[in-house]
């Protein structure tokens, strides 16, 4: 009788262990969607590209234009990675013209450089006021969460186009020609993964690759005398800027 009980318990325990192993196997090898696979590949390629570019430009850090040249090269690399993106039919549209989003230092530097090259001083002063107003609103929203009124992107022109369409933020690159339209959530997620990869690559190159809040980082870039050169030289150009807090881009399992 005792032998029968022991045998039965042993068989039950073995069966339970087998079921647990099968469940673990199923979780470990759960299928990853094509979209996730592409997003992870984009992130890896973006990180490699940013690291390689940063290492190449580090040797020329003493050159006055090296910082902005690196920023431009990083932006072009991001645009090339996202160029094959095609809108997903029937996909939910991504929000356009939001007043805050995340940008890395190269993005902030490039946007600031284009603004200063294209617009006269009165318009630059008006841009700074919009940035400060948005930052004040963000501070109030943090202190008073009930304030749900939307912020308007400081770069959004009345015609719906970006004021710096050629150097617009990475997360806006999927938008049609710089206009805040025709971008779906799937394209936005891919852009977020490219941005996350660039951030990781810059960090690996010992550069500030943090993702900062748009208004805060752009204002810092506009109000610094030589922000690009200082950033490439390791100076804390964006040390006082707000970090951008959002749901993280999809991560590999």
For the chain, domain boundaries: 33-232
The string of pLDDT tens digits covering residues 60-106 is 888 889 999 999 999 999 999 987 555 555 556 667 677 789 999 99
Contact criterion met (CB below 8 Å) for 159 and 97: no
**pTM for the full model?**
0.79
pLDDT of residue 205: 96
140-to-134, 146, 163, 240 alpha-carbon distances in Å: 10, 10, 26, 18
Residue ranges in the chain whose pLDDT is less than 50: 1-6, 8-9, 23-32, 253
Please name the helix (run of DSSP H) or strand (run of DSSP E) that holds residue 29, with its range, or none: none
- Give the model's pLDDT for residue 73: 97
CB distance 144 to 250 below 8 Å: no
Q: Using one digit for the tens of pLDDT, what is the confidence trace for 238-253?
A: 999 999 987 655 555 4
- The helix/strand/coil state of 209 is coil
């Amino acid at each position: 009788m005792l032998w029968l009980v022991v045998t039965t318990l042993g068989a039950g325990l073995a069966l339970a262990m087998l079921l647990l192993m099968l469940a673990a196997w199923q979780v470990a090898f759960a299928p990853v969607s094509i979209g996730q696979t592409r997003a992870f590949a984009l992130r890896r390629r973006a990180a490699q590209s940013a690291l390689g570019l940063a290492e190449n430009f580090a040797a020329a850090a003493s050159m006055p234009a090296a910082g902005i040249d690196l920023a431009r090269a990083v932006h072009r690399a991001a645009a090339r990675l996202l160029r094959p993106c095609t809108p997903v039919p029937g996909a939910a549209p991504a929000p356009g013209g939001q007043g805050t989003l995340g940008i890395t230092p190269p993005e902030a530097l490039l946007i600031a450089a284009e603004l200063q090259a294209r617009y006269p001083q009165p318009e630059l002063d008006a841009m700074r006021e919009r940035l400060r107003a948005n930052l004040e609103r963000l501070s109030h929203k943090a202190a008073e969460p009930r304030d749900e009124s939307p912020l308007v992107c400081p770069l959004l022109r009345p015609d719906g186009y970006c004021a710096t369409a050629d150097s617009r933020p990475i997360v806006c690159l999927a938008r049609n020609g710089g206009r805040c339209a025709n971008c779906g959530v799937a394209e936005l997620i891919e852009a977020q993964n490219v941005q996350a990869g660039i951030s990781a690559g810059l960090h690996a190159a010992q550069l500030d690759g943090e993702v900062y809040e748009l208004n805060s980082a752009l204002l810092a870039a506009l109000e610094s005398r030589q922000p690009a050169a200082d950033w490439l030289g390791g100076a804390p150009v964006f040390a006082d800027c707000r970090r951008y807090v959002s749901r993280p881009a999809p991560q590999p399992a």
